[in-house]
Homo-oligomer: A and B are copies of this chain.
């Protein structure tokens, strides 16, 4: 079956999205063409504006347009406290916890020598500058608990040697609401090793 060329182009273009195969792409294309051309045009405009206009914050590397990102602009944030994460989605996750009021440093990846991703590719030279300039008092390492994430965390820890920066790693343990029998052994080992004394007032 031949689609009209413009329709076929649209279906092909939709498959660039994560989790969208040929069938979903066709459904999306038809849906927009049949019922929501205005929405489709708006999406086209938003897409091209974002693809061209979104840059990286010169301070934390998160997404931003022209200059600092909203978090770095916010002067009420604790300026000396830095949470290092791998991606903008991780920033959102930490924000949604409601527990954090410092700044971020977004690596946009992790160290991965096998893929040719070195320290400069994830902005660690910029982080090193910020550390040596004395602007950072405390770093919370919130990289993933994968091999690459751990390696990246260790690398950053090394950057802070011979400085006054205090460094911590987010706690690894049993997730809230998780039943112990379904927790894997590695996580459980971390949870046991990282056990905390219960205060007498508990």
Across the interface, do A51 and B32 meet the contact criterion of CB distance under 8 Å? yes
Across the interface, do B42 and A44 meet the contact criterion of CB distance under 8 Å? no
Query: Complex Cα distance A108/B31, Å?
Result: 11
Closest to A95 in B: B1
- Chain A 78-111 per-residue mask, 1 if CB under 8 angstroms from chain B, else 0: 0000000001110110011000000000001000
Across the interface, do B41 and A51 meet the contact criterion of CB distance under 8 Å? yes
A1: contacting residue among B6, B50, B96, CB under 8 A: B96
Give the bracket for the number of chain A residues in contact with chain B: 35 or more
Closest to A46 in B: B13
**Contact residues in B for A21 (Cβ distance below 8 Å):** none
- Chain A 4-44 per-residue mask, 1 if CB under 8 angstroms from chain B, else 0: 11110110111011110000101111111110110111111
User: With an 8 A cutoff between CB atoms, is A48 at the interface?
Assistant: yes
Near B by CB (< 8 A), chain A positions 103-146 give 108
User: With an 8 A cutoff between CB atoms, is A47 at the interface?
Assistant: yes
Closest-CB distance, A83 to chain B (whole angstroms): 13
Across the interface, do B51 and A47 meet the contact criterion of CB distance under 8 Å? no
User: With an 8 A cutoff between CB atoms, is A70 at the interface?
Assistant: yes
**Contact residues in B for A37 (Cβ distance below 8 Å):** 51
Binding site for B on A (CB under 8 A): 1-7, 9-10, 12-14, 16-19, 24, 26-34, 36-37, 39-54, 63-65, 69-71, 87-89, 91-92, 95-96, 108
Name 7 interchain pairs, CB-CB below 8 A, sorted by A.
A3-B63, A4-B64, A4-B65, A7-B63, A12-B46, A14-B43, A18-B28
Known: A6-B53, A33-B50. 17 other contacts (CB 8 A): A1-B95, A4-B54, A6-B49, A6-B50, A7-B54, A9-B46, A10-B46, A13-B39, A13-B43, A16-B36, A16-B42, A16-B43, A18-B28, A34-B108, A37-B51, A41-B51, A41-B52
